[in-house]
Amino acid sequence: MPYRQAIAAAALTAALCLATSGAPAFDDAKYPDLRGQWIRVAPPGQPAFDPGKPRGWGQQAPLTPEYKAVFEANLADLAAGGEGLWPGYDCRPPGMPAMMTAYEPVEIIVLPEVTYILIDHIHDSHRRIYTDGRAWPEDVEPAYVGYSLGQWRDEDGDGRYDVLEIETRHIKGPRAYDATGLPLHWDNKTVVKERLYLDKANPNLLRNEITVIDNALTRPWVVTKSYRRNASPRPEWQEYVCAESNNHVRIGKESYFLSADGYLMPAKKDQPPPDLRYFNRPKK
């Protein structure tokens, strides 16, 4: 894929620069082996944000009363045939933290000063986690992936890093936790903290302990996601183009559906048609 080719080229350029400048080479032996394709571990079907609990109210998200009402209205809209609050219906990226559900497989590339997490879902998203010790910048343009700072830690004292701690801020909305439309606060002041590490009993299992701090919650919400490494040395990376087969159409605040014969049709009972004020209507 183009992103991976660009990243590989950048990594090669960086390696050549280090070699020619006499600087010490990147010692990847100090880092956990995160190579390969990582696939989410979750029950079959549409994944929930907390993979260990049922979707919807079964997630037991600690929502404030205001956002419980928001979620209830969202579920009513879904029941009526609407799209609810999930941005993926019209091919917008799910953003953080939902993108770490890994609806499609994930690839992780560790470099000296940045770790990339590549996710093939909705758009080919790529997270840059800066591990060079920088401080938070004063001015950041919000993005669906947010802005992430990380720190590698050697928690068992064996001279090798075993945990990547990540904090992500400056996340753009609209967003939801999963396709049920479980909401995050509309102020987009979410802070997401992660602890990413290999399972000590099985190096082909990757754990991600995610803590969400959000003003729609009464307390931080902690969820652990797991990913398994594809055993194939040459895994298949399928192209995922959301817009190519998406029949959902959003016009203004309403969502419609494109029928097989190419006509716009309602998604909900008694749904009004879109405003046609800028189209010339035939005279009667």
3-state secondary structure 52-108: CCCCHHHHCCCECHHHHHHHHHHHHHHHCCCCCCCHHHHCCCCCCCHHHHCCCCEEE
Structural contact between residues 90 and 258, judged by C-beta atoms closer than 8 angstroms: no
Distance CA 35, CA 108 (A): 7
| pLDDT given for residue 40 in this prediction | 96
Q: Which residues pair with 116 in a beta bridge?
A: 109, 128
Q: What percent of the chain has pLDDT over 70?
A: 88
Burial class (CB in 10 A: 0-12, 13-18, 19+), 272: exposed
pLDDT in tens, 215-224: 999 999 999 9
pLDDT of 13 > 60? The answer is no
Closest-CA residue to 61 (of 182, 170, 186) = 182
Give yes or no for residue 34 having a pLDDT over 80.
Answer: yes
- Residue 103: pLDDT over 50: yes
30-45 average pLDDT score: 94
pLDDT interval class at 23 (50, 70, 90): very low
pLDDT exceeds cutoff 50 at 202: yes
Q: Tens digit of pLDDT for each residue in 135-152?
A: 999 999 999 999 999 999
Confidence bin at 25 (pLDDT 50/70/90) = low
Choice among 22-36, 181-195, 210-224 with the minimum mean pLDDT:
22-36
Q: Are strands 123-130 and 147-153 parallel, antiparallel or unpaired?
A: parallel
Tokens of 197: 């590490």
Q: What's the confidence (pLDDT) of residue 26? A: 67
Which has more pLDDT, 270 or 180? 180
Contact of 247 with 262, CB cutoff 8 Å: no
227 in Cβ contact with 206 (< 8 Å) = yes
